[in-house]
């Protein structure tokens, strides 16, 4: 009788722990991000990515990305959308690659799917020609040791969104998974994309 009660107690405790652990894990993940809706694009952004003033009417939103130890500057995520296809995937990827000096530049481009939505990610590092002042002036300054994660998300039947995360190499590299997670993507299963 005592043994039967002990077994019942242990089984109930294991069941209660397993049931309560799952929602706690999910709640912890939810607590680490905040849902942001920009037109037809829904993102789950890390809570420490702070919304900042959007300096261009072409942007939907801008976020400051905290710098990692050793980097003096923080990163920036700029999110935009334009009518139609925004100029095409390849043309935009080529433009982003061209924002880095050819000497010492490293480029990796991947493509993937999240549900019905296609996306492309350009991981570019080297010397970035960082915009200074209003975009119309086309003034830049060379920023060595920079990285960009440029993402093009094609929301089926809705529009094309451009997410451009730039900053010091280590700071941006540390956010690669978070940027993919923001749209529900994972690097596993992505394929190489050639320009």
Nearest-CA neighbor of 169 among 72, 99, 84? 72
pLDDT digits (tens, 9 = 90+) for 125-137: 999 999 988 777 8
Average pLDDT score, the chain: 87
In CATH terms, is domain 33-192 a member of 3.40.1000.10? yes
The mean per-residue pLDDT over the stretch 153-170 comes to: 96
pLDDT value of residue 31: 56
* 49 close to 63: Cβ distance less than 8 angstroms: yes
Average pLDDT over residues 10-22: 39
Q: How confident is the model at residue 57 (pLDDT cuts 50, 70, 90)?
A: confident
- Whether the Cβ atoms of residue 186 and residue 163 lie closer than 8 Å to each other: no
Q: Give the model's pLDDT for residue 137.
A: 86
Task: Dump the DSSP string for 101-126.
Answer: -STT-EEEEEEEEETTEEEEEEEEEE
Q: How far apart are CA 77 and CA 18, in angstroms?
A: 38
Share of the chain above pLDDT 70, in %: 84
17 three-state secondary structure: helix
Please tell me the distance from the alpha carbon of residue 179 to that of residue 45, in angstroms, as a whole number. Answer: 8
Of 112, 181, 109, 119, the closest CA to residue 152 belongs to 119
Whether the predicted pLDDT of 15 surpasses 90: no
Q: Mean pLDDT over residues 163-170, rounded?
A: 98
For the ranges 27-31, 83-87, 140-144, 152-156, which has the lowest average pLDDT? 27-31
Predicted confidence at residue 30, as pLDDT, reads: 52
Q: What is the pLDDT of residue 141?
A: 96
Band of the pLDDT at 41, cuts 50, 70, 90? very high
162-193 in b/e burial notation, b at 16+ Cβ within 10 A?
bbbbbbbbbbbebbeebbbbbbebeeeebeeb
Residue 55 has pLDDT above 80, yes or no: no
């Amino acid at each position: 009788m005592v043994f039967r009660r002990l077994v019942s107690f242990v089984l109930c405790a294991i069941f209660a722990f397993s049931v309560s652990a799952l929602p706690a894990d999910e709640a912890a993940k939810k607590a680490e991000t905040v849902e942001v809706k920009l037109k037809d694009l829904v993102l789950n952004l890390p809570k420490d990515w702070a919304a900042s003033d959007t300096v261009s009417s072409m942007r939907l939103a801008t976020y400051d990305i905290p710098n990692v130890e050793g980097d003096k500057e923080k990163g920036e995520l700029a999110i935009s959308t334009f009518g139609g296809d925004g100029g095409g995937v390849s043309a935009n990827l080529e433009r982003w690659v061209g924002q880095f000096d050819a000497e010492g530049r490293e480029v990796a481009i991947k493509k993937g799917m999240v549900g019905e939505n296609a996306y492309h990610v350009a991981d570019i590092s080297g010397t970035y020609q960082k915009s200074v002042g209003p975009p119309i002036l086309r003034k830049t300054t060379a920023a060595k040791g920079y990285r960009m994660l440029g993402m093009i998300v094609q929301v089926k039947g809705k529009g094309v969104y451009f997410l451009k995360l730039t900053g010091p190499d280590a700071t941006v590299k540390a956010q690669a998974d978070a940027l993919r997670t923001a749209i529900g993507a994972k690097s596993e299963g992505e394929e190489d994309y050639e320009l």
